[in-house]
Amino acid sequence: MHGLANDLELASAAHLSNVAAGLAIERLGCAKLSLADIAERLLELDVKNKVFDEQHLYALEQTLQGKSFTVLGIDSTFGMTTELFLTLKKLSLNQEKLILFIRDDEPDSVFIELLASLHEVDFIVIQQSSLSQLCNRMHPTHSYLFEDGLLQVLDSVTVLI
C-alpha cells in the first residue's frame, strides 16, 4: 500500500513488494529489511538501475552505507577498448564496489548501456555534481582516472570533480 500511496504504478509497487518478500525469506523468515537492502537487490536484478544522476543519488548512498568503494573516471568518447575492459576486470577483483564516473557532459548512451551490462561494474555516475555530492557524504577508498589507455592513481577524488 505504501507504493500506491507514493504514486507508484500497481506493477511497480507489486514488483517492489516481491523483491522485499524475497529478501525477507532469504534471511530465514520475516526479517527486517532496510532501504539499502532493497536498493541493492534492485540493482542486481536490472542493469538500468546501475546508472545514477542527482535525482537518484539517495538510493546509491543507501546502497553504499558501510561498504568500501572505488571511483574510476572515464570518458565515453574513447569507447570500450581492450585496455579499459582489462582495467575494469582488475579493479573489480579488490572486493570493493566499483563506481564508474562518466566525465563527459553528454555521455554516449550506448556506451553507458554497455558498461552497465558488465558484472564488473557496480554503479555508474553520470553527472559531475552527482559525484561531488556523493563524495562529500562518503569517501572512496581508491580513486583512479583512465585516460589515453592508462590507469592513473589519484591522490584524491576531487581531481575528477
- For residue 151, the 8-state DSSP code is E
Mean pLDDT, to the nearest integer, of 39-60? 78
Distance CA 110, CA 58 (A): 25
CA distances 130 to 16, 51, 53, 61, 103, Å, are: 25, 11, 6, 11, 11
For residues 74 and 108, state if they share a domain. Answer: yes
In a domain, 25, yes or no: yes
Summarize pLDDT for 63-77 with one digit per residue, the tens.
898 999 999 999 999
At residue 17, the pLDDT reads 73
- The answer, yes or no, to whether residue 44 has pLDDT greater than 70, is no
Q: Count CA within 13 A, CB hemisphere, residue 109.
A: 1
Overall pTM surpassing 0.75 (yes/no)? yes
Residue 105: all three cell numbers together: 557532459
For residues 154 and 94, state if they share a domain. Answer: yes
CA 92 to chain centre: 13
Residue 64 belongs to a domain with what CATH number? 3.40.50
In a domain, 69, yes or no: yes
Task: Name the domain count of the chain.
Answer: 2
At residue 56, the pLDDT reads 82
- The answer, yes or no, to whether residue 154 has pLDDT greater than 90, is yes
For residues 87 and 143, state if they share a domain. Answer: yes
Summarize pLDDT for 82-138 with one digit per residue, the tens.
999 999 999 999 889 999 999 999 999 999 999 999 999 999 999 999 999 999 999
For residues 69 and 147, state if they share a domain. Answer: yes
In a domain, 38, yes or no: no
Domain that holds residue 81: 45-159
In a domain, 39, yes or no: no
Distance CA 107, CA 90 (A): 24
Distance CA 103, CA 75 (A): 5
In a domain, 40, yes or no: no
Mean pLDDT, to the nearest integer, of 5-30? 67
Mean pLDDT, rounded, of the chain: 86
For residues 29 and 72, state if they share a domain. Answer: no
For residues 57 and 93, state if they share a domain. Answer: yes
At residue 41, the pLDDT reads 72
Contact in structure between 126 and 98 (CB atoms under 8 Å): no
For residues 24 and 100, state if they share a domain. Answer: no
For residues 51 and 11, state if they share a domain. Answer: no
Residue 76: all three cell numbers together: 565515453
For residues 58 and 20, state if they share a domain. Answer: no
- The answer, yes or no, to whether residue 1 has pLDDT greater than 60, is no
Residues 6+ away with beta carbon under 8 Å from 69: 96, 97, 98, 99, 122, 138, 140, 141
